[in-house]
């Protein structure tokens, strides 16, 4: 009978052993671990994972942390052989009493087995398989090796796998920095991570912590006095940081898409890559702030879209109670935007009284005079609100910005506010290295993940003109080439269409110097230049500068009619800044796998695409745009700066692209639905201030640098009106730059100013 029983047990053992996983794979422990993204100063800016796990060696885990888990989960860990018969028997009787499986009696080794090889189902068959595997593992591995696997593998709630990830989640620090109280909290989580979460259920977490400490006392790991002191210790639970959203979300989302597309999702989310990027966190923060500031200012120029809601008198009290509950958690403070309800409109004193929960605030007319009725056809400066009753009424739910507490009163001073609808993008490249320091693709990543700096294709308008002018320089034009700015009629026979291009302002200016045409952004002159040098030549030239989007093969590209990305435009301008060299933008500087192997590393790719002297002359021309033309607003930078505005038909898009000797930066402003920004909202007014605010703050503590003049560029005194060498010094005399051999001589034959309208001139060189 005994032999029969033994044979039965052996038979069951071999039957259950069939198809069990090979335990040798534990030697090659390679669990899914997080991929981490770093900024240019090696600060963490993002994590990507399916299981948030950071593997650390056992000697980086406090001894008390190890003992806490052993006391709570498997007190006989160092004594049994992978399975604890006493615990199994105890659990068996508990389950009999309950009439269900309520206790498992699993050892730490069994939990490792279940985590790696088996399903989490609760059945006796699975428990028997688990016991067999646990026995095999215990024979093959040292106890500390098993504990290492367990403490790195165990799920501890809120997406954290292993003690290091959990320590960061709950306490904002590494596991090796944990004190006894924190160790006990973590050790209490494996049984039910959600139920004992210190985030969701701090009382339950405390109860479980006390249980773990008492178990540690029972096992002789700590004294009663230590336990009592630890129980009374205040815990500081840190809100888990969402790196992805907090730091540079648009930038890291661009990286995520690239890595997933190139290496696949498994590598991205499981293989623990270290991705080093070119982004600068502080510059990125400045860009986001300046975009927000610029869009709020633009939004106020566009008028007030009205209250977010309207309440009946009997609804105000209930609404105010709800708002007060929110304010109890996040109190009002200076600079904060919040919803309030209007309770009084006083046109005599030109004030509005609003209720913010249990407190009151005042809006003066000066802080809401911008709230005119939206009308894109009327300039913002022509209309304003004179009395608050023109805009608001009692019961209106509105947004306000808190300005501060009014002295010696219980009242708050507020300003009428609304969330902008327009979007903006900003991209900044360190010109010499190609490192993309800033990429902001919209107003708020939480609302829209669309990256308008890279994914969007919008018409650049006049911001595209420098590409045409640079192409013309390589075709023999000089800054003093004269072109007649006069009406021109272009017939499109294929589409049966007649085009009569005009300048902004509906005027024509006659003989115009090449430099002045770009400075004043003359449309007709640019079209004539393009017609002369050839459309195909100009498109090929744009390709050399890094423009990859499709360009229409017609003269309208002179006015930026073909959509391109902000990244392309900034890359093209950087060629001028780099004296003719195209440096490919660098977003990722290096990717290293979990074993330290470098998967890819960026090395600056510099390709000479245009002549140095042509590039410098373009810089000089674009400096003129800033000093005397449409880019005049950025003169306030008080540094050498070159740039160009861009505004499209119907004011759909506003651009400013420009550069200093170190950085090339571009900004775009517009609506996603192609609505008009409104009359007068040009690149100069809508986009340039964002660019200026950003660059002022970025360069504030940096020394002034000047643009380098390459060999092959000469300077000559020129008459600013005629483009000729001056006969005598006068107020019209300026210094102009030229390629060697192209400085004009005395010109005896004056241009025929009565020539045909389409005719234009290049002075004899």
Over residues 691-727, the pLDDT tens digits come to 999 999 999 999 999 999 999 899 888 887 787 877 7
Distance in angstroms between the alpha carbons of the first and the last residue of the chain? 117
Q: Identify the band that residue 16 occupies on the pLDDT scale cut at 50, 70 and 90.
A: very low
What is the average per-residue pLDDT within 576-601? 96
pLDDT at residue 670 greater than cutoff 90: yes
- pLDDT for the residue 575: 98
Task: Look at residues 303, 515, 270 and name the one whose alpha carbon lies nearest to residue 416.
Answer: 303
CB 658 within 8 A of CB 677: no
Residue 646 confidence (pLDDT) above 60: yes
For the segment 438-466, the average pLDDT, to the nearest whole number, is 94
- Using CA atoms, how far residue 41 sits from 44, 93, 564, in Å, is 9, 59, 31
Average pLDDT, rounded, for the chain: 87
Q: Which residues, other chains included, contact 229 with Cβ-Cβ below 8 Å and sequence gap of 6+?
A: none
Return the SS3 of 52.
strand
Lowest average pLDDT, out of 128-137, 238-247, 300-309, 479-488, goes to 238-247
Closest CA to 644 of 486, 515, 551, 455: 515
Supply 557's token pair.
């590209």
Distance (Å, whole) CA 88 – CA 224: 29
Under the banding of pLDDT at 50, 70 and 90, the label for residue 493 is low
Beta bridge partners of 714: 738
Residue 739's Cβ-count burial label (10 Å; 0-12, 13-18, 19+) is buried
> Is pLDDT at 18 greater than 60 in this prediction?
no
- Least confident among 34-38, 482-486, 503-507: 503-507
Does residue 70 register a pLDDT over 60? yes
Nearest to 572 by CA among 591, 547, 606: 547
Lowest model confidence (mean pLDDT) among 50-59, 91-100, 216-225, 705-714 = 91-100
Q: Give me 648's structure tokens.
A: 């499209």
Q: Is 76 helix (H, G, I), strand (E, B) or coil?
A: coil
Residue 93: is it exposed, middle or buried by C-beta count within 10 angstroms (0-12/13-18/19+)?
A: exposed
Q: Please identify, in words, the CATH class of the domain defined by 306-417.
A: mainly beta
Distance CA 30, CA 308 (A): 53
Task: State both tokens at 73.
Answer: 């989960």
pLDDT on residue 740 = 85
Mean pLDDT lowest among 76-85, 201-210, 445-454: 76-85
Burial of 756 (0-12, 13-18, 19+ CB in 10 A): exposed
Please compute the mean of the pLDDT values over residues 439-445 and round it to a whole number: 94
The encoded tokens of residue 595 equal 């074993």
Which residue's entry shows tokens 């302002």? 505
Q: What gap in Å lies between CA 113 and CA 134, rounded to an integer?
A: 6
Indicate the fold that domain 2-27+51-239 takes in CATH. Penicillin binding protein transpeptidase fold (1.10.3810)
φ and ψ at residue 390, rounded to 5 degrees: -70, -15
pLDDT of residue 598: 97
Q: Tell me which of 39, 320, 462, 565 is the catalytic residue.
A: 462
> How far lies 352's CA from each of 278, 356, 389, 390, 400, in Å?
48, 13, 9, 12, 11
CA distances from 737 to 170, 309, 742 (A): 63, 61, 10
By the 8 A CB rule, do 589 and 482 touch? no
Q: In 10 A of CB 161, how many CB atoms?
A: 25
pLDDT over 90 at 90, yes or no: no
Highest mean pLDDT among 252-256, 676-680, 711-715: 252-256
Query: Distance between CA atoms of 386 and 371, rounded to whole angstroms?
Result: 10
pLDDT value for 760: 33
Which of 90-94, 152-156, 203-207, 234-238 is least confident?
A: 90-94
- C-beta separation of 370 from 355 below 8 A: no
pLDDT at residue 408 in the model? 86
Every domain of the chain with CATH number 1.10.3810.10 lies at 2-27+51-239
Render pLDDT for 171-220 as a digit per residue (tens, 0 to 9).
Answer: 989 999 999 999 999 999 998 999 999 988 989 999 999 999 999 999 99
Q: Which residue has the higher pLDDT, 26 or 6?
A: 26
Buried b (16+ CB within 10 A) or exposed e, 193-213: beebbbeeeeebbbebbebbb
| Residue 430 exposure: Cα atoms within 13 Å on the Cβ side | 15
What was the pLDDT predicted at 597?
96
Is 203 a residue of the active site? no
The one catalytic residue among 39, 47, 73, 369: 73
pLDDT at 632 over 90: yes
DSSP character at residue 631? T
Which position has the higher pLDDT, 734 or 6?
Answer: 734
Confidence of residue 402 (pLDDT cuts 50, 70, 90): very high
Domain with CATH 2.40.50.140 in the chain: 306-417
pLDDT for 317: 92
Locate 479 and state its tokens: 């800054």
314 has catalytic annotation: no
Q: Which two tokens stand for residue 471?
A: 């192409």
Structure confidence at residue 267 (pLDDT): 96
| Cα-based torsion angle of the residue sequence 283, 284, 289, 292 in order, rounded to the nearest 10 degrees | 140
> Which residue(s) pair with 363 in the sheet?
352, 414
């Amino acid at each position: 009978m005994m032999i029969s029983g033994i044979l039965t047990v052996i038979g069951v053992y071999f039957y259950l052993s069939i198809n069990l996983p090979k335990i040798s794979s534990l030697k090659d422990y390679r669990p899914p671990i997080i991929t981490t993204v770093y900024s240019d100063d090696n600060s963490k800016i993002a994590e990507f994972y399916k299981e948030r796990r950071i593997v650390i060696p056992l000697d980086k885990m406090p001894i008390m942390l190890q003992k806490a888990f052993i006391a709570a989960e498997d007190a006989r860990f160092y004594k049994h052989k992978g399975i604890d018969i006493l615990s199994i028997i105890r659990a068996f009787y508990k389950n009999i009493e309950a009439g269900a499986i309520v206790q498992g009696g699993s050892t730490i080794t069994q939990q490792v087995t279940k985590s790696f090889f088996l399903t989490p189902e609760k059945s006796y068959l699975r428990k028997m398989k688990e016991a067999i595997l646990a026995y095999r593992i215990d024979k093959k591995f040292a106890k500390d090796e098993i504990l290492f696997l367990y403490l790195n593998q165990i799920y501890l709630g809120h997406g954290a796998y292993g003690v290091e990830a959990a320590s960061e989640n709950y306490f904002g620090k590494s596991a090796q920095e944990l004190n006894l109280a924190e160790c006990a909290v973590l050790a209490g989580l494996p049984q039910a991570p959600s139920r004992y979460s210190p985030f969701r259920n701090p009382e339950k977490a405390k109860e479980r912590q006390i249980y773990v400490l008492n178990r540690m006392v029972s096992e002789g790991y700590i004294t009663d006095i230590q336990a009592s002191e630890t129980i009374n210790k205040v815990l500081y639970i840190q809100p888990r940081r969402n790196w992805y959203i907090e730091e540079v979300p648009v930038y890291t989302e661009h990286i995520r898409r690239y890595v997933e597309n190139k290496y696949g999702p498994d590598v991205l989310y499981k293989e623990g890559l270290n991705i080093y990027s070119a982004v600068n966190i502080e510059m990125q923060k400045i860009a986001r702030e300046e975009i927000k500031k610029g869009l709020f200012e633009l939004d106020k120029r566009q008028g007030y879209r009205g209250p977010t809601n309207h309440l009946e008198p009997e609804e105000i009290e209930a609404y105010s109670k709800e708002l007060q509950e929110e304010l109890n958690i996040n109190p009002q403070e200076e600079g904060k935007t919040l919803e309030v309800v209007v309770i009084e409109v006083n046109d005599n004193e030109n004030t509005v009284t609003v209720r913010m929960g249990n407190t009151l605030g005042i809006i003066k007319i000066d802080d809401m005079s911008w709230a005119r009725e939206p009308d894109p056809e009327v300039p913002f400066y022509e209309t304003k609100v004179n009395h608050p009753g023109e805009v608001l009424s009692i019961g209106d739910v509105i947004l306000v910005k808190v300005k501060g507490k009014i002295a010696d009163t219980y009242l708050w001073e507020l300003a009428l506010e609304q969330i902008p609808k327009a979007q903006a993008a900003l991209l900044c490249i360190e010109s010499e290295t190609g490192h993309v320091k800033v990429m902001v693709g919209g107003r708020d990543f939480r609302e829209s993940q669309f990256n308008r700096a890279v994914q969007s294709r919008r018409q650049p308008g006049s911001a595209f003109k420098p590409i045409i002018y640079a192409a013309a320089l390589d075709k023999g034009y000089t800054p003093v080439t004269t072109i007649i700015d006069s009406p021109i009629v272009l017939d499109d026979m294929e589409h049966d269409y007649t085009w009569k291009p005009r300048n902004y302002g509906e005027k024509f200016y006659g003989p115009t110097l090449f430099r002045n045409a770009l400075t004043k952004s003359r449309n007709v002159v640019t079209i004539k230049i393009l017609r002369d040098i050839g459309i195909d030549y100009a498109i090929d030239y744009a390709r050399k500068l890094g423009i990859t989007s499709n360009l229409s093969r017609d003269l309208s590209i002179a006015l930026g009619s073909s959509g391109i990305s902000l990244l392309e435009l900034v890359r093209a301008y950087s060629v001028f800044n780099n004296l003719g060299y195209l440096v490919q933008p660098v977003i990722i500087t290096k990717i290293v796998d979990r074993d330290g192997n470098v998967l890819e590393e960026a090395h600056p790719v510099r390709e000479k695409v245009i002549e140095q002297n042509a590039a410098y002359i373009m810089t000089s021309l674009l400096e003129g745009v800033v000093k005397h033309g449409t880019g005049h607003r950025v003169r306030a930078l008080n540094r050498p700066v070159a740039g160009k505005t861009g505004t499209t038909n119907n004011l759909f898009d506003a651009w400013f692209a420009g550069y200093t000797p170190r950085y090339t930066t571009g900004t775009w402003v517009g609506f996603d639905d192609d609505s008009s920004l409104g009359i007068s909202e040009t690149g100069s007014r809508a986009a340039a201030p964002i660019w200026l605010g950003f660059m002022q703050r970025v360069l504030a503590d940096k020394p002034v640098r000047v643009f380098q003049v390459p060999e092959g560029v000469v300077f000559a005194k020129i008459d600013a009106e005629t483009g000729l060498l001056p006969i005598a010094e006068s107020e019209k005399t300026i210094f102009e730059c030229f390629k060697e051999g192209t400085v004009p001589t005395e010109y005896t034959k004056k241009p025929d100013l009565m020539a045909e309208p389409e005719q234009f001139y290049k002075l004899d060189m």
